[in-house]
Amino acid sequence: MGGADLAYCNYIGEGRGGDFEHKAAPDRKALALQSGDLDEDVAAALAHVDLSCATQDKLPALAETYEAIEPKKYAGKLEGKVAIVTGASIGIGRSIAKAFAAAGASVAVVARREPELGTLVEDISATHGHGRAVPIVADVSSDGAAKDIVARVEKALGPVDILINNAGINHIGLLSEEEPDAWWKVQQVNVLAPVSLSCAVLPSMLKRKTGVIISTSSSYAATAAPALSASSTSKATLSKFHECLARELDFLEASQNIVTFAVNPGTVMTEQLQSGFHHPLMQKLMSDGGFTGEFKMQTPELCADTMVALAADPAYKPLTGRHLNAAQRLPRVLEEVQKKGQGRVGAENLYLVNIATM
């Protein structure tokens, strides 16, 4: 569902044991329906969803951009940098591309939808000047796409400083009723493509001793939901990839220069999320009460501004390799990491995909 977090409530980094509180999430169904974000069929299905979720105390879920990551703070901070944003034509990716352009970066926007890419480039050019954005029409999962995309970007804008792997798809289906091809396609788009692109930009980043690699993840990385095994598997794999990449960069003594993160954008009303709500299996799960979670809508700008802050602010380097939640304040998470012994984040291995044992 492309960044959707309406799932079993077991979020990465939400704490354990006595630090859980059971809080009622704000009722945003009516607001979403009134604003046109939800149609009546979806709203009716959500009427049966438990809108409460366990959250770590002192880390309430945010809905919009907050002061520490607001765009004006990072205006011009990425001047001279070249960024690739995949899945940039609509939704969260479009907001990410605009946010990086606003921070001063030259942005290569990658997607399959040529008309939407065209209007995005026009919007960015009108606001930030001609040549600030270039469109790259491509399917990131096709053979040889990663090297081709990077070569085209380097020719148009120069070496890549920032890679944002945002392109992703979802597949809803019961394993007992489907062919594996559809399931595997999700892994190709959500895992193989970002890994391939990361491998394509890393040699130059290592040579120049600078770089940022960020992927859009999801709470699905830490959940197991019926009919969503493809998405959950792909996001867990992607988040673990970023942890491994951070360890590898540390091994190469490059972790002070190149950072990498997975970012969960929260629940954003994207095209994928809307269509997912209409799927018969999802309708059944919600109507049966077997699907619980926090239904607090986040704006796409919250994710976009979080990514800009991670890319532009060296203060966040200690968070490298972690799966971060855009709906939680970055400074608060950083504060915990910087405590002696890395605070709760280090002691409990928060913001990582873990298999706990006795």
| Residue 283 CA to its chain's centroid (Å) | 25
* Residue 353 resides in a domain: no
- pLDDT at residue 224 in the model: 78
User: Sorting pLDDT into bands at 50, 70 and 90, what band is 274?
Assistant: low
* Residue 6 resides in a domain: no
- pLDDT at residue 54 in the model: 30
Q: What is the dihedral of CA 156, 157, 161, 162, to 10 degrees?
A: -70
- pLDDT at residue 283 in the model: 60
Query: pLDDT at residue 206 above 80?
Result: yes
* d(C-alpha 223, C-alpha 218), whole Å: 9
Q: What angle is formed at CA 20 by the lines to CA 19 and CA 21, rounded to 5 degrees?
A: 120
CATH number at residue 213: 3.40.50.720
- pLDDT at residue 38 in the model: 47
Task: State what percent of residues in the chain have pLDDT above 70.
Answer: 75
What's the domain range around 81?
17-347
pLDDT tens-digit map of 115-160 = 999 999 999 999 998 889 999 999 999 999 999 999 999 999 999 9
Q: What are the φ and ψ backbone dihedral angles of 327, each rounded to 5 degrees?
A: -85, 5
As a whole number, the mean pLDDT across the chain is: 81
Lookup: tokens for 260: 């990498």
DSSP string, 77-138: TTTT-EEEEES-SSHHHHHHHHHHHHTT-EEEEEES-HHHHHHHHHHHHHHH-TTSEEEEE-
**Listed range (74-78, 226-230, 257-261) with the worst mean pLDDT:** 226-230
Lookup: tokens for 55: 């959250």
* Residue 176 resides in a domain: yes
Lookup: tokens for 354: 């873990």
* Residue 323 resides in a domain: yes
Cβ–Cβ < 8 Å for 324, 12: no
* Residue 315 resides in a domain: yes
DSSP 8-class letter at 62: P
Which residue has tokens 């081709």?
148
User: Sorting pLDDT into bands at 50, 70 and 90, what band is 103?
Assistant: very high
* Residue 137 resides in a domain: yes
User: Sorting pLDDT into bands at 50, 70 and 90, what band is 69?
Assistant: very high
DSSP 8-class letter at 7: S
* Mean pLDDT in residue range 91-112: 96
pTM of the entire structure? 0.81
DSSP string, 24-55: EPP--HHHHHHHTSS-HHHHHHHTTSB-EEEE
* Residue 11 resides in a domain: no
- pLDDT at residue 7 in the model: 35
* Residue 30 resides in a domain: yes
Residue 329 CB partners (closer than 8 Å, separation 6+): 59, 62, 66, 68
How many other CB atoms sit within 10 Å of the CB of residue 297?
Answer: 22
Query: pLDDT at residue 296 above 60?
Result: yes
* Mean pLDDT in residue range 294-309: 84
Task: State what percent of residues in the chain have pLDDT above 90.
Answer: 54
* Mean pLDDT in residue range 215-234: 84
**Listed range (61-75, 149-163, 213-227) with the worst mean pLDDT:** 213-227
**Listed range (33-47, 149-163, 246-260) with the worst mean pLDDT:** 33-47
Domains: count for the chain = 1
Which residue has tokens 């109507």?
287
